[in-house]
Amino acid sequence: MGNHRRFWTLAAIAGGVLAGVALPPVGWPWLLWPALALLWAVAGSPHRGTALVAASLWGAAAVLVSHRWLLWLHPLDWIGVPAPLSLPLCLVVWGFCGGVGGLLVAAWVALVRPLDPNRLDTALVAALGWGLAEVLLARGPLFWLGLGASALPGDPALAALAALAGAGAIAALQVLIGWGLWRALQLGALRGRPRALALPLALLLLAHGPGWALALAPGSGGDGASENVMVVQPAIPTRHKFEAGSQRRLLEQLDQALGSLQGSASLASRSAAGPGAGAETTVVVLPEGALPLGQPLPRAATAEVLAGGFRQQDDSVRSSVLRFGPGERYASGAVDKHRLVPLGEWVPLARLVRWSGLSAVGGLEGGAASRLLPRPAGAIGVAICYELADGTALAQASRDGARWLLASANLDPYPRALQAQFTALAQLRAIETGRWLVSVANTGPSLVVAASGQVRSTLPDGIAAIKTMTVRQRQTLTVYDRWGNGPLLLGWLLALLLRFWPRPAAGSSASAER
C-alpha cells in the first residue's frame, strides 16, 4: 500500500509540474495532454483517499509552477512590510494559490470517480464541467490562468476555436484529449495495439480540423474606420511610482506625447487605407494607475486621451480608465475596474484596519460590471489588469457595441513570464470577440493584436517608449460574441442527460425478446 501511495504521489506531482510548464509562456498543449492523462489515471485509481490526495498535489503543482511570478512581489518593504516578513508573506500568498488549485482539482476528481472515468459519456460530462468551471472562476477574484489559455502561443489552430465557444471550450477539449490518451494507454497503445491510438487521434482531429479551417480562412482587417493609437509605456518601477520625481517624469512623458500631436490634426482626418474604411482618428493611451487621484493632463490635447488613473466616486476611490476628450484637461468619462485584486486592491475591513494590503493602492471599491466605454469615435471594451482573464465580460462589451478592446495594466515588478501570459490572454480575447486589442502596460506588454490573434506591433518591454500603432474597428460579431458560453452549457447538459439516461438491463431486454 505504501509503494502504491508513493507511486501515485510522484506521478501526480510530475503531471502537475508538466501542466504548469505547458501553460503560457510556453503554451505547448502537447505537453499538457500527457499531464492530463496522468490526472485521469489518478481519477481512475482504485483507492479513493490516495486519488484525492494525488489530485490535490497535481493541481497545487500546476498552479505553483504557472504562478511562480507571484514570488516577484518580494521585497514588500516599500508598502511597509518589514524585510524579515516580506519573503515569508509572498510564500504564503503563492502557497495559498497553489492550495486553492489543489482543492479544486481534488473536488473535480471526487465528482468524476463515482461516474466511472472509463466511460466516454463520463469524460464528456467531466471535460465540459471543467470548461464551465474555468469560465465561472474567471469572473471571481482568484482566477488568472487556466487550461483555456494553454493553446497559445504554440497551437493557433486550437486557439481559433475560441471564436466559436470561448476559452472554456478549449479547456474542455484539452481535458477530453487527455482522457483519450489515457484510454489509449489502457487499451494497449504501448503494447503492440496501435488501433488503441484511434481514439486520441480522432479527438485531435475533432479539435484541430475546424480550428485550422478558421485560422486559415481569409478575413477582413475590419469593417469600420481605423484608428491611430499612441501607446505611452512609462516603465516607472511600481516601488517608486508615487515618489515626486517619478510623478514628474511621468507627466513629462505624457506632455511629450501630447506635444507631438500639436499641429498634427491632419492625422484625425486623413483617410484610412483600404476599401470601405472610414476616417482615422488618434487616441493616446496610458497604462493602469498612471495618473494619481485628481491629476489633470499637463496640457489640453488635440486628441482624445485614455489614461489609467484613479477617481473619487462618492466616498470611495476607484481604479479607472479615464477619458479626456480633445481640448480637455480633466476627465469627462471613465470605466471603473470591476474585478479587484484580493489584498492588492480589495482589502477586508479596509475602513477599519489601517493597512493597504500588498499594494500602495489597497482599499479601492469596484465599479460596474460593464466593460463598455462610450466615445464619439466608437465605443471600446476595457479590461483593467487581470480583468483580461474574463472573456465573458469582453464578449458582452462587443455585443453592446465595442469596436476594439483596450487592456490597461501595470505588471511591474513581475517578470517576463507574467507578461507572456498577459499576451496570450490578449490574443485569446481578440480571437473570442473578433476585435483588435491594444495592450498598454507600465513595463510591458504594450502591443496591438489583430482580430485573428496575431501580434501586429509591439514596444520593447522594460524601457520607456512611445509608439503610434494602428487598430481597425470591427462590428461583426463572432459566434462567441452572440452566444457566449451558452453552447458550452448546453453541451454539458446534454452530456449529463446522456450519462444518466436510464438504460434497460441486459436481462430484462432478453426477457422482452422471448
- The H or E element that residue 62 is part of is helix 48-66
Q: How far apart are CA 446 and CA 493, in angstroms?
A: 40
d(CA 368, CA 318): 11
Cis peptide before 82 (omega within 30 of 0): no
DSSP code for 271? B
Q: Of 64, 55, 61, which Cα lies nearest the Cα of 16?
A: 61
Catalytic-residue membership of 288: yes
Count of helix runs (H) and strand runs (E) in the chain: 15, 12
Residue type for position 488: L
Please identify which residue in the block is written with the cell numbers 522594460.
462
Cα–Cα nearest to 96, from 64, 58, 137, 128: 64
Contact 459, 467 (CB under 8 A): yes
Give the Cα separation of 338 and 365 in Å (integer).
8
| All cell numbers assigned to 382 | 476595457
Q: Which of 396, 389, 423 is nearest to 485 (CA)?
A: 396
How close are the terminal C-alpha atoms of the chain, in Å? 48
Q: Is residue 24 classed as helix, strand or coil in its secondary structure?
A: coil
What DSSP string describes 346-403?
Answer: B-TTTTTS----SSTT-S-----S--EE--TT--EEEEEGGGGG-HHHHHHHHHTT--
Residue with cell 506531482: 13
Length, in residues, of the chain: 514
Q: What is the DSSP letter of 412?
A: T
CA dihedral 35, 485, 208, 196 (to 10 degrees): 50
Of the candidates 337, 345, 387, 432, the residue annotated as catalytic is 337
Coil, helix or strand for 43?
helix
Cell for 304? 482624445
Active-site residue flag, 385:
yes
Task: Dig out the grid coordinates for 293 from the structure.
Answer: 487621484
The active-site residue, picked from 227, 288, 304, 432, is 288
Which residue among 90, 385, 387, 432 is the active-site one? 385
For 352, counting Cβ atoms within 10 Å of its Cβ (0-12 exposed, 13-18 middle, 19+ buried), the class is exposed
**Whether residue 328 lies in the annotated active site:** no
| Residues recognised as catalytic | 288, 337, 385
